[in-house]
């Protein structure tokens, strides 16, 4: 009897333990399960990017005006010294120094050229005097010969007709020769004068170049044109003008002094999202250095041509964002976090961002509260809280915000949606390639022998 009682008690205890186990297991799973419902409503799409603060309007510090003179034949000079970026300068303060040695070498060469030009000018004057003196002697001889021939002609008046005729002919020849030598002297005089004038002009040009080089030498210390914060000049491709950089007539900017009352954020958007960004769109701007600050702005410009990212085949497009308001704490080159409002969609299906999971090739949600499945979805635009859903779920469907237990064992549902996504991407790629080929066909044919097409067309019209 005791044994039977003990057996019954043991059975009851085991059942109680099993009940308690399943009860607490169900309770735990309920605590770990976080779900939301897909909903419809108004959706604002955002494009996120990081950027850098710049001034929309800056005072440019240029090279000396003398360096822009092409007659000096100095195409570039190195910056030998430059103050640190971010230095607060006043009007007239020192900024940078350009290479004095390179200008000194040009001054020395100009002096050598001037000495040579002076020698050539003197030689040209002496040669001209000699040549003209010889030509005057020829004229004197021609005039004496004419006088002699005239006397012979006068004396032949009593001679035979043949002798008279010959005397007249000799006289006519002497007249023509004198006339020719006199005209030759005039031409020779102009010729020699031109030679001397060219030497004088050459000497004057070298002299003027030497003076201008001296003025350039005295202006190689660069001063600030106004008060402000000095910033190094940055080229669109990323290169910075600093100590050691080359400047010249084709690269005239040394540095800038930004006006901090007109700020923009320069950012770069990838080629996937650039079609969503348009001038005039509103932007929410955060400053990494001041997390508590929240600024507003507007898209100012969007580049038409993309740039290749370093060590990547991806392209990005430059976007400038105008920042509204003024803040004295903001400094150039501070990093910004930009959220561009790319568009508002009314009465559209959306789901919380945390409910979207993805692997290497597709996006999916865990659909269903009791027995979840991996439902493939076709996701659209997104913002900081929600993602648009094109296909895969409907309004009111329950999706998980966390992965359920043994998630790797769940099967995918909606492979037909994945096939549609792949087809849409393929069609878009083919369309883009077709448009590219059509643009290439519209390009003008290259001109023969390397001549520009415009020149070729003009030559054909003339013909």
Q: Which of 55-59, 167-171, 322-326 is the least confident region?
A: 55-59
- State pLDDT tens for residues 4-19: 666 667 676 677 666 6
Pair of tokens at residue 23: 């009860």
Please give the average per-residue pLDDT across 275-281, as a whole number: 90
Q: Say if CB 90 and CB 257 are below 8 A apart.
A: no
Backbone angles phi, psi at 290, to 5 degrees: -130, 85
Q: Say if CB 405 and CB 30 are below 8 A apart.
A: no
pLDDT of amino acid 27: 41
Residue 444 — pLDDT band, cuts 50, 70, 90? low
Pair of tokens at residue 123: 């030689």
More confident residue, 21 or 271: 271
> How far apart are alpha carbons 49 and 45 in whole angstroms?
13
Pair of tokens at residue 257: 């002094």
Helix (H) or strand (E) holding 222, with range, is strand 221-223
Pair of tokens at residue 360: 């290497």
Backbone angles phi, psi at 322, to 5 degrees: -75, 130
Task: Compute the mean pLDDT over every residue in the chain, rounded to the nearest whole number.
Answer: 83
DSSP 394: -
pLDDT of amino acid 449: 43
Q: Which residues contact 98 (CB under 8 A, 6 or more apart)?
A: 63, 64, 67, 77, 78, 79, 80, 220, 222, 247
DSSP 253: E
The residue whose two tokens read 């996504």 is 421
- pLDDT at position 20 over 70: no
pLDDT of amino acid 297: 93
- State pLDDT tens for residues 65-75: 888 888 888 88
Q: Which residues on neighbouring strands pair with residue 54, listed in sequence order?
A: 264
More confident residue, 23 or 166: 166
- pLDDT at position 460 over 70: no
- pLDDT at position 109 over 70: yes
More confident residue, 302 or 451: 302
Q: Say if CB 242 and CB 83 are below 8 A apart.
A: no
DSSP 273: T
pLDDT of amino acid 236: 66
Q: Which residues contact 378 (CB under 8 A, 6 or more apart)?
A: 389, 390, 391, 392, 417, 420, 421
> Of 317, 297, 98, 124, which is closest to residue 217 (Cα–Cα)?
98
Q: Enumerate the H helices of 269-377 as residue ranges.
A: none
Q: Helix or strand or coil: residue 400? A: strand
- State pLDDT tens for residues 23-37: 544 444 444 678 888
> How far apart are alpha carbons 455 and 248 in whole angstroms?
31
Please give the average per-residue pLDDT across 178-205, as a whole number: 90
**DSSP β-ladder status, 412-413 and 373-376:** parallel
Pair of tokens at residue 458: 């003009």
Half-sphere exposure of 337 (CA within 13 A, CB side): 10
Q: Which of 273-287, 310-324, 391-405, 444-458 is the least confident region?
A: 444-458
Residue 2 — pLDDT band, cuts 50, 70, 90? low
pLDDT of amino acid 30: 44
Please give the average per-residue pLDDT across 372-377, as a whole number: 89
Query: What domains are there in the chain, each with its CATH number?
Result: 46-50+260-413 (2.40.30.170), 58-99+220-258 (2.40.50.100), 103-217 (1.10.287.1490), 419-462 (no CATH)
> How far apart are alpha carbons 433 and 452 in whole angstroms?
28
């Amino acid at each position: 009897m005791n044994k039977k009682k003990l057996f019954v008690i043991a059975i009851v205890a085991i059942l109680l333990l099993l009940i308690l186990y399943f009860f607490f297991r169900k309770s735990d799973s309920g605590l770990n399960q976080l779900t939301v419902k897909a909903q419809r409503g108004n959706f604002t799409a955002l494009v996120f990017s990081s950027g850098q603060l710049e001034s929309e309007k800056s005072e440019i510090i240029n090279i000396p005006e003398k360096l822009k003179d092409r007659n000096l034949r100095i195409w570039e000079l190195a910056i030998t010294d430059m103050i640190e970026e971010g230095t607060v300068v006043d009007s007239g303060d020192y900024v940078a120094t350009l290479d004095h040695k390179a200008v000194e070498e040009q001054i020395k060469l100009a002096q050598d050229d001037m000495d040579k030009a002076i020698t050539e000018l003197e030689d040209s004057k002496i040669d001209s005097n000699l040549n003209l003196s010889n030509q005057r002697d020829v004229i004197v001889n021609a005039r004496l010969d004419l006088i002699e021939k005239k006397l012979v002609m006068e004396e032949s008046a009593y001679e035979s007709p043949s002798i008279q005729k010959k005397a007249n002919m000799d006289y006519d020849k002497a007249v023509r020769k004198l006339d020719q030598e006199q005209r030759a002297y005039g031409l020779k005089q102009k010729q020699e004068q031109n030679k001397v004038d060219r030497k004088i002009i050459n000497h004057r040009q070298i002299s003027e170049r030497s003076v201008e080089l001296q003025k350039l030498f005295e202006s190689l210390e660069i001063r600030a044109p106004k008060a402000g914060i000095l910033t190094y000049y940055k080229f669109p491709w990323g290169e910075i003008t600093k100590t050691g950089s080359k400047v010249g007539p084709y690269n005239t900017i040394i540095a800038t002094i930004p006006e901090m009352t007109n700020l923009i954020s320069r950012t770069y958007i990838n080629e996937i999202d650039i079609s969503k960004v348009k001038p005039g769109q509103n932007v929410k701007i955060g400053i990494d250095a001041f997390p508590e600050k929240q600024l507003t702005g507007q898209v100012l410009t969007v580049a038409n041509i993309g740039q290749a990212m370093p060590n990547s085949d991806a392209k990005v497009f430059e976007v400038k964002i105008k920042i509204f308001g003024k803040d004295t704490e903001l400094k150039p080159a501070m990093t910004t976090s930009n959220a561009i409002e790319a568009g508002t969609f009314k009465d559209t299906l959306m789901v919380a961002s945390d409910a979207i999971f993805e692997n290497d090739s597709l996006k999916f949600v865990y659909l269903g509260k009791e027995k979840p499945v991996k439902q493939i979805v076709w996701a659209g635009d997104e913002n900081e809280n929600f993602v648009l859903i094109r296909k895969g779920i409907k309004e009111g469907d329950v999706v998980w915000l966390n992965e359920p237990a043994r998630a790797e064992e769940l099967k995918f549902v909606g492979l037909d949606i994945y096939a549609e996504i792949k087809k849409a991407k393929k069609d878009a790629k083919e369309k883009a390639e077709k448009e590219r080929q059509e643009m290439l066909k519209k390009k003008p044919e290259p001109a023969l022998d390397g001549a520009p097409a415009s020149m070729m067309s003009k030559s054909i019209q003339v013909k």
